[in-house]
Amino acid sequence: MTQGFSHVDDAGRPQMVDITRKDVTLRTATARCRIELPPETLARLRDADFRVGKGPVIDTAIIAATQAVKRTHELIPFCHALPIERCRVIIECTSDSALEIECEVSARARTGVEMEALTGAAVAALTVYDMCKSLGHAMTIGGLRVLAKRGGTRDFDEAQT
């Protein structure tokens, strides 16, 4: 390993982390991001029960997030394919101009599920953008972060930092 980077071998070449010696444990992670929309756009969505010409925005974003969680290893080069056992996606209006997206993922595995939770939250936000762009492009996606993780060598909880 070169200078503490786990995805680089001694010769400086990229590599997948060897997890064969790790124990299988329950791993969970929760990620969150936010999509900001103009207040008038969000008001139009609310008035339409979050349906647009392409279909139900929230339901479609939840399905997209779930698909993304299960396919994270196909998108991020050194992620391991994991046996996802739980994926919960919650999308809520938190103001007159924002939706908060939270994605919680669980698996019994040798490595964590943070990347899966992050990918799920991000793809849900991208799906909302895609479905709502006919109402205007003045949307921003941000604040993508891991809120908490459990299992493995160390736990993390943003609320405790």
Half-sphere exposure of 85 (CA within 13 A, CB side): 10
Helix (H) or strand (E) holding 143: strand 140-150
Q: Out of 23, 130, 155, 157, pick the active-site residue.
A: 130
- CA distance to 73, 103, 118, 154, 156, per residue, from 150 (Å): 20, 14, 15, 7, 7
Strand order in the sheet with 140-150: 84-95, 98-109, 25-36, 140-150, 156-157
* 157 classed as catalytic: no
CB 100 within 8 A of CB 34: yes
- Residue appearing with tokens 């103001």: 95
Chain centroid to CA 54: how far?
22
Q: Which residues are catalytic?
A: 130
